Amino acid sequence: MMQKIMLMLSFLVFYPGFAGAQFKGEIVGQGGQKFPIAVSPLKNLGTTPDGAKLSEGLADTMAYDLDLSGWFKVLDRSAYIEHPQSTGITLGAFDFKDWSAIGAEGLVKGGFSVQGDEVTVELRLFDVYQNKERIGKRYTGKVKDYRRIAHKFVDEIVNQFTGVPGIFNSRLTYVSTSGGRFKEIHVSHLDGTEKFQVTNNRTINLSPSWTPDGRAVLYSSFKDRVQTLFLFELYSGKEIKFSPHAGRLISGKVSPDGKSVAATLESGGNSNLYLLDLNGNVIRKLTEETGIAVSPSWSPDGRQIVYVSDRAGSPQIYVLDVAGGKSRRLTYSGGYNTSPEWSPKGDRVVYTGRVGSRFAIFSISGDGGDPRKLTSESSDSEDPTWSPDGRFIAFSSNRAGKYQLYIMQATGENQRRLTGSGGDDTKPSWSPRLD
């Protein structure tokens, strides 16, 4: 009887959508615990002498992503029984008992072969209970880009469980002082690799965000003395400077259709939202504040913009209907609410709110209602940004001393530090999924 129940439970886990619409996206193992998965070092199917690096590097990258998600318990490699280089990687060519014996419910196995500067990688996800293969994929790419392959496969694993692909093949852009005194714009892969510095101008650079195709970063800078926006194309190195006729551009976000920018233009002391084209020319003014309207963020359908206004006497979150021009207030609790970002799922807005003397991250329905506090106010957590699937939030926190970047699930669970640097890392913005 026990056997039957266990088989049924693993059936629930592996077939997406079964868990019910409101819990879609949840991955659980037996007894509601994290899903135990083993990630075997890959088998060298060719003759490259560099095998160990790829064998373990591919497995390490997948293990890191699976662990970071908070959904999986990646079993310790030191407990693995079989020898990966002398065991088969396809169904029937290895013994599932070697894996059920250590408590694995899922298993990732595969192999690779190197030809020149290219590598071909085969990866499979196995269901240890049912002795079945769930996913089998083959990828080809440059050897130096091997991590991308690992990220893509983890995204497939997540898709298999939940019906929505994972977000581990993605990037963050953020501000870092790198231990010095200048705030520069950086880009890295979510796992902290492939670091790239967009600016190195020794002034103040802020508020980076992505174009919807993930190919360019919009940021503000004082590098030409007057603060304005720059659109930097990652792959060509080309940059467009936005030059308003008057005033300063404080920040901006590219619209979901990629055709325009919602930006804050400050002139004569007043900061308002404007709609700009991709060259920085004003299309129209969006708000009419005699005070402050800043930090616009688009809803995924491009019809609404969530932003911060001080019209009520202190910074609060408002929602603008772009076509009609009317705004409604979203936050009524707390005396200082800023930094809103609309989830790519369209349902919720995440923001930073002051609690006592500290800042914490909250989420609230886009329709209003009670906010949910997601982080502790024993330290500061700020600058939240959504993952492209709306299931994770990256943010900046000084809970360990200097500001570093963290990740958590949208519920606030499983808060983990992303790779740190020597300096303050702030204002992360999460890219769309990479190809």
The yes or no reply on residue 285 touching another protein (CB under 8 A) is no
DSSP output for 290-324: SSBEEEEEE-TTSSEEEEEE-TTSS-EEEEEETTT
Instruction: Provide the minimum distance between the beta carbon of 311 and another protein in the complex, in angstroms, as a whole number.
Output: 12
The yes or no reply on residue 195 touching another protein (CB under 8 A) is yes
Nearest CA to 271 out of 253, 255, 256, 286 is that of: 286
- Binding residue for another protein, selected from 180, 325, 346, 369, defined by CB under 8 A: 180
- Binding residue for another protein, selected from 31, 47, 245, 435, defined by CB under 8 A: 435
The yes or no reply on residue 202 touching another protein (CB under 8 A) is yes
The yes or no reply on residue 354 touching another protein (CB under 8 A) is yes
The yes or no reply on residue 397 touching another protein (CB under 8 A) is no
- Binding residue for another protein, selected from 69, 211, 264, 431, defined by CB under 8 A: 264
Instruction: Provide the minimum distance between the beta carbon of 77 and another protein in the complex, in angstroms, as a whole number.
Output: 25
Site for another protein in 46-85 (CB under 8 A): none
Instruction: Provide the minimum distance between the beta carbon of 295 and another protein in the complex, in angstroms, as a whole number.
Output: 5
Give kind and range of the element (H or E) at residue 327.
strand 327-329
Q: What is the C-alpha to C-alpha distance for residues 331 and 337, in angstroms, rounded to an integer?
A: 7
The yes or no reply on residue 181 touching another protein (CB under 8 A) is yes
Collect all residues with Cβ–Cβ distance below 8 Å to 430 and sequence separation of at least 6.
Answer: 167, 170, 171, 172, 190, 210, 385, 386, 387, 388, 394
Collect all residues with Cβ–Cβ distance below 8 Å to 203 and sequence separation of at least 6.
Answer: 182, 221, 222, 223
The yes or no reply on residue 291 touching another protein (CB under 8 A) is yes
Whichever of 128 and 407 has its CB closer to another protein, that residue is: 407
Q: CA torsion 385→390→391→393, rounded to 10°?
A: 0
- Binding residue for another protein, selected from 57, 192, 256, 258, defined by CB under 8 A: 192
Whichever of 40 and 264 has its CB closer to another protein, that residue is: 264
Instruction: Provide the minimum distance between the beta carbon of 215 and another protein in the complex, in angstroms, as a whole number.
Output: 10
- Binding residue for another protein, selected from 250, 261, 273, 410, defined by CB under 8 A: 250
- Binding residue for another protein, selected from 64, 139, 318, 392, defined by CB under 8 A: 139
Stretch that binds another protein, among 27-35, 70-78, 260-268, 365-373 (CB under 8 A): 260-268
- Binding residue for another protein, selected from 16, 46, 368, 420, defined by CB under 8 A: 420
Instruction: Provide the minimum distance between the beta carbon of 389 and another protein in the complex, in angstroms, as a whole number.
Output: 19
Number of residues that bind another protein (CB under 8 A): 74
Site for another protein in 295-314 (CB under 8 A): 295, 308, 310, 314
* Helical pair 146-162 and 2-14, crossing angle rounded to 10 deg: 120
- Binding residue for another protein, selected from 3, 33, 78, 236, defined by CB under 8 A: 236
Stretch that binds another protein, among 59-67, 94-102, 201-209, 386-394 (CB under 8 A): 201-209
SS3 29: coil
Q: What is the C-alpha to C-alpha distance for residues 125 and 39, in angstroms, rounded to an integer?
A: 9
Give kind and range of the element (H or E) at residue 175.
strand 171-176
Residue type (1 letter), 154: V
Whichever of 70 and 334 has its CB closer to another protein, that residue is: 334
Q: What is the C-alpha to C-alpha distance for residues 189 and 430, in angstroms, rounded to an integer?
A: 10
The yes or no reply on residue 271 touching another protein (CB under 8 A) is yes
Nearest CA to 297 out of 359, 254, 239, 237 is that of: 254
Q: What is the C-alpha to C-alpha distance for residues 386 and 296, in angstroms, rounded to an integer?
A: 15
Q: What is the C-alpha to C-alpha distance for residues 170 and 429, in angstroms, rounded to an integer?
A: 11
The yes or no reply on residue 315 touching another protein (CB under 8 A) is yes
